[in-house]
Amino acid sequence: MMKFIISGGGTGGHIFPAVAIANEIRRREPTADILFVGANGRMEMTRVPEAGYLIIGLDISGLQRRLTPQNLLFPVRVFRSVRKAGKLLEQFRPDAVVGVGGYASAPVLLAATSRGIPSLIQEQNSYAGLVNKLLARRVNKICVAYDDMEKFFPAEKLVLTGNPVRTEIARGNRAEAQQFFGLDPAKKTLLVVGGSLGARTLNLATAAALGRLREAGVQLLWQTGKLYYPEAKEQAASYATDNLHALEFIQRMDLAYAAADVVISRAGALSVSELCLTGKAAVLVPSPNVAEDHQTKNALALVSKGAAVLITDEHAATRLYDETLRLLADPERQQQLGARVQELARPDATTAIVDELFSLLKK
């Protein structure tokens, strides 16, 4: 029986690719034993078991950007986590280890590479994360989603695979989607999504634009996130007959994408990969609250190829809906952006990553 450890997490952008990799391993090797290792208190500790996999947590967290007691304890936590990861590896005895970024992957990959266990990391963003940059010299293979990653990683270890994305996200049927959300097929539809937790900037700009959307005859699917939902629900209530819907969370994203003519989104790696796969015209508003401003770099990778529109977070309040309404009124530009973004899609990314993982085992 083959055994694998998959480590990392912290955000959905790390967790969902990790689960996709696990699912592909399990598809090829139904008896494979797969163990996840995450960071205690982070979202992977609930999301991974929901996906049907066992996970063990390490007491590890990232460095704060200012001097805090947590930073003083950081070296101690790293040492303890590497020691615990080492014991875990000796007990579980994996054939290979996969790191997807995030705090927990560092101790596991450090322990694995020091024992000569085949190892692979997957970098989702166009600007490499700190953990993956630190591990790059030690691992056997590095799977990336963007060109020109040689500036972060040894070129001989790089494989351009794309990001693992749920391929069913692109299979939504437009007529079914319109019926599911109660939309009018004769009207344009805008999808606003700021990630699973929502995005304050997008929510405030959308709330302010509800009247403009109604005037333009545009329908709205607005994923607000949990915190802003009560307020958004109230704001959208008077526009419900105009199909302006505030939703806390959209479970059927395949149908949401299928219904949408234009998408407003943050520029996390997972969101960008989904937009490529679904071929949607998008206005990207990168979050400024991420390490090394990597969402802006993700967005620019699309904008430089004429595949998306970029509005900065600071200009969203004044410019986001001017640009979005112009795009909604221009079907030719929508089609052009959609065609160009779809050219960047890599629907076989998960397969390619697991191919690389299995090739390490053969060596």
3-12 pLDDT per residue, tens: 999 998 877 6
Q: Which domain holds residue 287?
A: 168-343
Are 91 and 173 members of one domain?
A: no
Q: Is 269 annotated as a binding residue?
A: yes
74 close to 86: Cβ distance less than 8 angstroms: no
Share of the chain above pLDDT 70, in %: 93
Q: Is 196 annotated as a binding residue?
A: yes
Could you tell me how many residues make up the chain?
363
How many angstroms separate the most distant Cα atoms in the chain? Answer: 64
Are 67 and 16 members of one domain?
A: yes
Q: Is 62 annotated as a binding residue?
A: no
Are 149 and 21 members of one domain?
A: yes
CA 350 to CA 163: how far, in whole Å? 7
Q: Please report, for residues 66, 162, 166, 290, 339, the alpha-carbon distance to residue 266 in angstroms, rounded to integers and kept in the order given.
A: 26, 19, 18, 11, 20
How many domains in the chain?
A: 2
pLDDT value of residue 72: 44
Query: Which residue from 36, 50, 32, 2 is spatially nearest to 105, judged by alpha carbons?
Result: 36
Are 300 and 358 members of one domain?
A: no
Are 182 and 74 members of one domain?
A: no
pLDDT value of residue 297: 92
Q: What is the pLDDT of residues 199-223, one digit of tens each?
A: 999 999 999 999 999 999 999 999 9
Q: Is 116 annotated as a binding residue?
A: no
pLDDT value of residue 287: 94
Pull the structure tokens for residue 6. 């998959």
Are 352 and 310 members of one domain?
A: no
- Which range is least confidently modeled, 16-20, 39-43, 157-161, 195-199? 195-199
Q: What is the pLDDT of residues 31-80, one digit of tens each?
A: 999 999 998 988 899 989 999 999 999 987 654 445 455 544 455 566 67
pLDDT value of residue 170: 92
pLDDT of 292 strictly over 90: no
In this structure, what CATH number is given to the domain that contains residue 66? 3.40.50.2000
60 versus 136: the higher-pLDDT residue is 136
Q: What is the mean pLDDT of the chain?
A: 91
pLDDT value of residue 63: 46
Residues 228-249 have a mean pLDDT of 92
Are 239 and 354 members of one domain?
A: no
Q: Is 168 annotated as a binding residue?
A: no
Q: In this structure, which amino acid lies at residue 84?
A: K
Residues 162-169 have a mean pLDDT of 88
Are 187 and 228 members of one domain?
A: yes
Question: Under DSSP, is residue 38 helix (H, G, I), strand (E, B) or coil?
Answer: strand
Q: Is 105 annotated as a binding residue?
A: no
290 versus 303: the higher-pLDDT residue is 303
Q: Is 166 annotated as a binding residue?
A: yes
pLDDT value of residue 195: 67
Pull the structure tokens for residue 362. 């053969």
pLDDT value of residue 76: 58
Beta bridge partners of 180: none
- Report the predicted TM-score, pTM, of the whole model to 2 decimal places: 0.85
Radius of gyration of the chain measured on its C-alpha atoms: 21
Q: Please report, for residues 41, 99, 151, the alpha-carbon distance to residue 61 in angstroms, rounded to integers and kept in the order given.
A: 9, 16, 26
pLDDT value of residue 64: 44
Count of other CB atoms within 10 angstroms of residue 78: 16
Q: Is 119 annotated as a binding residue?
A: no
Question: Under DSSP, is residue 124 helix (H, G, I), strand (E, B) or coil?
Answer: coil
Q: Is 273 annotated as a binding residue?
A: yes
Q: What is the pLDDT of residues 186-203, one digit of tens each?
A: 999 999 998 666 699 999
pLDDT value of residue 291: 74
Are 211 and 276 members of one domain?
A: yes
Are 176 and 228 members of one domain?
A: yes
Q: Is 195 annotated as a binding residue?
A: no
Q: What is the pLDDT of residues 101-125, one digit of tens each?
A: 988 899 999 999 999 999 999 999 9
Are 103 and 138 members of one domain?
A: yes
pLDDT of 130 strictly over 90: no
Are 295 and 150 members of one domain?
A: no
46 exposure class (CB count in 10 Å sphere: 0-12, 13-18, 19+): exposed
Q: In this structure, which amino acid lies at residue 239?
A: Y
pLDDT of 321 strictly over 50: yes
